[in-house]
A and B are shown apart, each in its own frame.
Chain A
Amino acid sequence: MSKMTRSLLAASALMLGLSAPAFAKTFVYCSEASPEGFDPAPYTAGTTFDASAHPVFNRLVEFKKGTTEIEPGLATSWDVSDDGLTYTFHLRPDVKWQSVDGYAPTRTMNADDVIFSFDRQGNPDNPWHDYLPGITYEYYSAMEMADLIKSIEKVDDMTVKITLTRPEAPFLANLAMPFMSIVSKEYADTLAEDGKQAQFNQVPVGTGPFQFVAYQQDAVIRYKKNADYWGTAPKIDDLVFAITPEASVRLQRLQANECQLMPYPSPADLDAIKADSNLKLDQQPGLNVAYLAYNTTIAPFDKPEVRKALNMAINKQAIIDAVFQGAGEVAKNPIPPTMWSYNDSIQDDPYDPEKAKQMLADAGVSNLDMEIWAMPVQRPYMPNARRTAELMQSDLEKVGVKASIVSYEWGEYLKRSTDPARKGAVIMGWTGDNGDPDNFMGVLLSCAATGDGGSNRAQWCNEDFSELLTKAKATTDQAERAKLYEQAQVIFKEQAPWDTLAHSTQYVPMRANVEGFQMSPLGDFTFETVDLK
C-alpha cells in the first residue's frame, strides 16, 4: 500500500468516525395491542400507559423501579401536615419539556403544569375537561380523587399545596399512577390557540425519558431518547413499539430478532422459550389475585361455615397445575405475598373433601345445587376460567354438591356479576394499580364496594373488617397500617367470602442480549434502563 493511499484511508476513516455518530441503538418491543390514545388521563388500559405515561411522562412521585415503593419524581420532596390533610410538594427545578414538530416550549416545568394536570380531570369548568368528544377520566373518578382533593394551590412557581378532605394514606401512591402524569399547560394553551386540541391526545409532550416521534395506527409507535431528560438518560437511542396482537406471532418475531422483548407469552410456549439459547425469560410473582366470590347475601352462602366447606372441597393446587401450568401459586389471602402487610401466619383452608362433606352436613346443607360463573376472557390472573370451573365442578361433585357452569359475554359478565341478587359464585380477579393494600381490600371487599356496580362481588359487608380498613386508610404510619391490614386478613379468612384461588406468575421473554430490563410488580413495561449488548 502506498503511503498516499494509506494516509487517504486513515483520513477517510477519521472523517467517518467524526461525521457518523456511534451506530444508533434501536430497541423494539412487540407490544400486544394498540394504545387507545397518548393522553394518560382518560384511559384505564395498561397497554395505553406503557405507550404514553411511562415513556413520555413523569409524575410528582414515582414507583421505584421494580417495587411499589414511592420515590421522588417531578417533586424532589414533600411535607405532610400533622393532621394528614395538607401535602406540600417541592418541584424539581429546570425540568425541560420535550419539543415536537410545530411546538417548542419556552419555559420549564412549574406549578402551573401540576395544577393544570389535575384540575382538568376533576373540574368540569376547566376548558380542557371536555377537550375530546365523550372524554371521561375513569381513574380519577374510580380513585375518588374529586372527593378527596379539596384544593390545589400554587404557593410559588416551584411549590404546590394540595389539601385533602380527609386523611388518606394511599394518596401518595395514587399520585404515582399513570393517570396523574404531569402534562404541559403551555403545550395545551398553544394547541387551544391554534384550535388543535385533539393533537394533545395524538402527539404527547412530556418530561419523560423518551420523546414521541410518530404513531402509525395499529402498526408502529416510534420514540427517540429525550436528550434533555432530567433523570438518568436512557441507554438506547430509539424505542419502537411493534404492535403484534397474536402471542404466538410475538414469539416468532422475538425468535427472528424482529423485536427484542415481548409481553404475555402464552403458557404453552414457555418450554420452547426456555429451550431457546437466544432468549432468556424473566419471571416474578404478579401483583394479582384470582378468586371465586360467593354471594354472601344468599342462602346457604350467607353462612361462613358453608363457604369454608366449599373452599375445602376445591383442590386449588390441581387448578394451579392444570390451568396455570405451574405459572402461579395457591392464594390464601386477598392480597399477593409480594405486597407489604401480607399476613403470612394465616392458615389456608386445607383441601379436605371428607371434612367438607361433614361441615356441609353439620350446616344442614344437602343436595346443594349451585352455579359457578366462568369469565369468557383470558386475564393475566386467570388463563382459563372455564377450565377452572370444570375442575371445581368435579371437586364439588365429590362432596355431593352439584355445580353447573354459567358464562356470559364479557361486558355482560362484568355487569351481571355485580348484581346484589346474583345467584352463583363468580370467578374473578384483580391486578393491583398502585401497590397499596387498600387497592385490593378496600376496592374489592369493603362495605362501600357492595351494591349494584360495586366491585365487591361477594356482596360481603363485615363491619369489623371495613372499620379496620377505614382506620388504616386514615393512618400515615405504614407500620401501623400494616398491623391493621394483617388483622383484616384474619377476619377475611374466618369469614371466607371468597375462595382465594391463585396469584399468577408473570413472564417476560426477551433476547439474550437485553440487559437492564426490570419487571414491574404493577405489570408496567418501561424501557429507560434497557440496554442491548
Chain B
Amino acid sequence: MIRFFFNKLLYLIPTLIGITIVAFGFVRVLPGDPVTLLAGERGITPERHAELAAQLGFDRPVWAQYLDFLWRLLHGDFGNSIVTKQPVLSEFLQLFPATVELSLCAIILATLIGVPVGVLAAVKRGSWFDQISMTTALVGFSMPIFWWGLLLIIFFSGTLGWTPVSGRMSLMFYFDTPTGFMLIDSLLSGQDGAFTSALSHLILPSVVLGTIPLAVIARQTRSAMLEVMGEDYVRTARAKGMSRRRVVMVHALRNAMVPVVTTIGLQIGLLMAGAILTETIFSWPGVGKWMIDSISRRDYPVVQSGLLLIAGIVMIVNLIVDLTYGLINPRIRHK
C-alpha cells in the first residue's frame, strides 16, 4: 500500500511540470496582451507599450520568463497580479474556501441523491421509475449551467421568494471569516440567523453545480449495479436464499461502488469547470470567477499560478480517490 502511494506520488512531479508549461503557455497563445488591455479604448503608443511591457517583465524571451516563473515557484513565490498588484497566493487562499464549500455541497448533494436513484433504477430495471429517472439524468447532464442557474433564480428567488438571489450571506450580517467556510464561520460568529442565511445561500448554487455530477453518478451507479447483479456471486447469494435487500445492499452495492467512487472523484475535478459559470451567475466569490476575470484581463501571473494551484489540488483529490479505490478494492493495489 505504501509503495502504491509513493508510486502515485512520483507520477505527480512530471505531471505538475507539464501543468506549469500548459498554464504558462495557455494565456500567452491567446491573442491580446495585458498592456493593451490596461490602456483600453484610450490607445497606447508603441513606446509606452514597450515601457510598460519592460516594467512587467514581458520584454524578455518567453523561455526566460518561463524559467523565471519556475524559479520563483521553487521559492514559493507565485507572483503578483498585474491588475490588483496583490500576491496571487493570498488571493487564491482568500477565494478558495468559497469554491471548496460550494463544490463539497454540490458533490454531497449529487452523491446522496445520485447513488440511491441509481441503485433503485437498477433494481427496478425497466420500470417507470427507471425510465423517468434515467431520462431526467440525461436531461440534467446536458443542462446548460448558465440557463439553468438563471431559471432557478427567477423561479425560486424571484417568483416564490424562497431563496436569496445571490452571494454567500445576507448583507445584514457582518463578521470575521477565519476559516473562509461560511457554514462554519456563521456558527462561530454566534449571530442569530447567520447559519440559516449561509445555508439558504448555498441551496441554489449547489443544486446548479451538482446537477451534472448527479446525473453522471446516477447513471454510473445504475450500470455498475446492473453489471454486478449479473455476476455469479450475486446469483449464488440469491440462490442461497438471502433476502433481495441484503444481496443488493451488501454484496452488489459494495462492489458496484468501486467505479462509482472513481466517478465521484473525477467529478470533483470537473466541478472546477462548472464552478466557473455557477460562481459567475450567483456572484459566488470563488476561484472559478477569479480565473475567468483574470483570463479576460490577460492577467498572466494570476492565470498561470492560479491554474497550477487549482490543478495541483485537483490532482491531490484524485490521488486520494485512487487511494480510497485501493482500500475498497484490494485487487487494485497489487496490479
Residues of A within 8 A of B (CB): 26, 28, 33-34, 36-37, 42, 44, 132-136, 138, 141-142, 198, 201-202, 214, 216-220, 222, 240, 242-246, 248-249, 252-253, 255-256, 258, 379, 408-412, 414-415, 418, 428-430, 443, 449, 451-455, 457
Contact = CB atoms under 8 A, between A and B. Distances in A.
B116 interface: no
Contacts of A198: 85-86
Chain A CB count within 10 A is highest, among B83, B172, B282, for B83
B30 interface: yes
A141 B51 CA distance: 12
B52 A253 contact: no
Interface string B258-286: 00000000000000000000001111011
A34 B297 CA distance: 13
A249 B177 contact: no
A408 B32 CA distance: 9
A410 B42 contact: no
Given A253-B165, A414-B37, A219 B283 contact: yes
B312 interface: no
B289 interface: yes
B164 interface: yes
Contacts of B171: 26, 28, 220, 240, 242, 258
B166 A253 contact: yes
B38 interface: yes
A252 B85 contact: no
B38 A256 contact: no
Given A36-B84, A256-B157, 18 more contacts: A34-B293, A36-B83, A37-B84, A44-B42, A136-B52, A217-B94, A218-B285, A242-B167, A242-B283, A244-B166, A245-B280, A252-B165, A255-B158, A258-B165, A411-B36, A411-B298, A412-B31, A452-B45
Contact of A258 (B40, B86, B150, B164): B164
B101 interface: no
A256 B161 contact: yes
Contacts of B30: 409
Contacts of A133: 80, 85
B45 A249 contact: no
Interface in B37-51: 37-46, 48-49
B46 A142 contact: no
Contacts of B168: 219
B161 A411 contact: no
Contacts of B41: 379, 414, 428-430, 455
Given A219-B168, A219-B283, A249 B44 contact: no
Given A244-B283, A415-B32, A252 B82 contact: no
Contacts of B84: 36-37
21 contacts: A28-B171, A133-B80, A134-B55, A134-B82, A136-B52, A219-B168, A219-B285, A220-B171, A244-B166, A245-B289, A246-B150, A246-B283, A249-B165, A256-B164, A414-B36, A414-B41, A414-B43, A451-B45, A452-B46, A453-B43, A457-B43
B114 to A, nearest CB: 28
B90 to A, nearest CB: 9
Contact of A454 (B43, B52, B85): B43
A415 B285 CA distance: 31
- In the A-B complex, list the 6 residue pairs whose CB atoms are closest, starting with the nearest: A411-B32, A455-B43, A218-B285, A219-B285, A132-B85, A453-B45
B280 A219 contact: no
A44 B48 contact: no
Contacts of A36: 83-84
B174 interface: yes
Interface string B150-175: 10011001100100111110011010
Size range of the chain B interface in the assembly:
35 or more
A201 B85 contact: yes
Contacts of A136: 38, 52, 55
Chain A CB count within 10 A is highest, among B161, B165, B290, for B165
Contacts of A248: 150
Contact of B33 (A34, A218, A256, A411): A411
Contacts of B94: 217
B144 to A, nearest CB: 14
B107 to A, nearest CB: 22
Contact of A37 (B37, B85, B289): B85
A136 B84 CA distance: 12
A202 B37 CA distance: 23
A214 B175 CA distance: 10
Given A134-B85, A220-B171, A454 B45 contact: yes
Contacts of B80: 132-134
Contacts of B33: 411, 415
A35 B166 CA distance: 19
Nearest to A408: B31
B154 A218 contact: no
B132 interface: no
B54 to A, nearest CB: 11
B310 interface: no
B164 A249 contact: no
A20 B249 CA distance: 60
A135 B150 contact: no
Given A135-B85, A249-B283, A44 B39 contact: yes
Nearest to A256: B165
A369 to B, nearest CB: 25
Interface string B1-43: 0000000000000000000000000000011110011111111
A246 B95 contact: no
A138 B283 contact: no
A222 B176 CA distance: 13
A252 B158 contact: yes
Interface string B49-91: 1001001100000000000000000000000101111100001
Contacts of B49: 453
B85 A256 contact: no
Contacts of A138: 38-39, 42
Nearest to B164: A258
Contacts of A379: 41
Contacts of B32: 409-412, 414-415
A411 B283 contact: no
Contacts of B167: 219-220, 242, 244, 258
A249 B282 contact: yes
Nearest to A28: B171
Given A219-B283, A219-B285, A256-B161, A411 B37 contact: yes
A457 to B, nearest CB: 8
Contacts of B43: 414, 418, 449, 453-455, 457
Given A136-B52, A411-B37, A414-B43, A243 B283 contact: yes
Nearest to A201: B85
A427 B166 CA distance: 35
